[in-house]
Amino acid sequence: MIISHLRPSMSLFKRSVVSEATSHASVVFSTLLVVWLSVVLVRLLGEAAAGRIGADVVVGLAAFTTIAALPTVMAVSVFIGVLTTVSRSYRESEMVVWFSSGVSLAQWVQPILRLALPAAFVVAVLTLFASPWAQRQIEDYRARFELRSDLSRISSGQFLELDAGNRIVFVEPSPQDPDALGQVFVRLLEPNWLSLVSAASARTEVAKNGDRFLVLGEGARYDIKPGELTARVSTFDSFGVRLESKGGEQSLTEARNRALNNNKARPTELLLTDDTPHAKGQIMWRLAIPLATINLALLAIPLGAVNPRVGRSFDLLIAGLIALLYMNLINASHGWVNNQVLPFGVGVWAVHAVFLTLTVVLMWHRLRIRRPKKPSQSA
């Protein structure tokens, strides 16, 4: 009769734990994703304003950068979701009800694994396949922008640096036509001269041989010889500034091949055939995040066990610091494997074994029943 009473209680317990932990993890995941996207968009818009990337690729780069960051975001979301669920049960004395029904803290492991294992599988797919693909797309976007001709990168209201800073162009918008080029200022840095060219208008032309030019209208050129009292001023009806066109499809292919040298962007199957330390370090990192997702979810069970009669801020702060230490040690192990300080066979499991041991120790500490103190005998 007692067993038949416990079975529906356990079933209800598991469903409620999985449902609440999933709900909390989803809210945390959405919040972290919005914060991450906001930070990435601000950074990318700043790069676009500085001319380092094109404004038309900001959304694409933000999407691929977010895909690359999803494994870490999901691991942290699961940890916070489980931690919040356990701490809420203690804070609202719900845990007392479960304890009275014969449910111990150790029986939280099974329902939490129902959430953590599928999440770890999704994280593994992301780290092994989706994130490297997203990194390759990011490198491809940036390579395409670098291979654009200087002509296509000129836009009104922005300074454009060309030829490693030897030429700087600033174009004002045209008052008659917003899509046309208005007044233009060009700074030319030559071996013996520093020149400033200004013109009332500009247009773009492509010569028969494919060379591209920014053709300035009526204006003036001012030349100064640095270190000497020599200057000259000249006026012109038309002045052309050649804009180099880089590379073409061959250069784009070379840029993509260079991107594959970045281990973050290399497919997992290529890393498995590479015996270099950097390839092994990247494999270690891609395996570490799914394992950390499970470990953090289990670690959140004893860390979330708080005393409802005292403040919980300190306990949650400690839990956050432990999770941060875990992720930092994974990154440190990645660097140690890259630098051959730590063998791959040790680096792939050492950090996870330490924190799994910590989970077991904390669970034992929470589950053990302290013997009551004997009353002192008066003399």
Query: What element of type H or E holds 257?
Result: helix 248-260
For the entire predicted model, the pTM comes to: 0.75
pLDDT at 237: 87
Contacts of 25 (CB under 8 A, 6+ apart): 77, 78, 80, 81, 82, 115, 119
C-beta separation of 146 from 47 below 8 A: no
CA distance 261 to 283: 15
pLDDT at 178: 60
CA distance 99 to 97: 5
> Which residue is it, tokens 């845990």?
95
Two structure tokens written together for 175: 């008052």
Query: What element of type H or E holds 173?
Result: strand 167-173
Contacts of 261 (CB under 8 A, 6+ apart): none
CA distance 216 to 237: 8
CA distance 153 to 52: 10
> Which residue is it, tokens 């990337």?
53
pLDDT in tens, the chain (379 residues): 444 444 555 677 888 899 999 999 999 999 999 999 999 999 999 888 776 777 778 899 999 999 999 999 999 999 999 999 999 888 888 887 888 777 888 899 999 999 999 999 999 999 999 999 999 888 888 777 765 555 556 666 777 776 667 778 888 877 776 656 778 888 888 888 898 888 888 777 777 766 667 788 889 989 998 888 788 898 988 877 776 555 445 555 665 666 667 788 899 998 999 889 999 999 999 999 999 999 999 999 999 887 766 655 677 788 889 999 999 999 999 999 999 999 998 999 999 999 999 999 999 988 875 555 556 555 4
> 3-state class of 321 per DSSP?
helix
C-beta separation of 200 from 219 below 8 A: yes
Instruction: Tell how far CA 143 is from the center of its chain.
Output: 19
pLDDT at 161: 75
Q: What is the DSSP letter of 212?
A: E
247: left (phi over 0), alpha (psi -120 to 50) or beta: left
* Strands ordered across the beta sheet of 219-225: 159-162, 167-173, 181-189, 194-199, 219-225, 230-236
pLDDT at 83: 94
pLDDT at 13: 83
From the CA atom positions of the chain, what is the Rg in Å? 31
Smallest CA-to-CA distance from 124 within 64, 63, 61, 74 is with 74
CA distance 33 to 39: 10
pLDDT at 354: 96
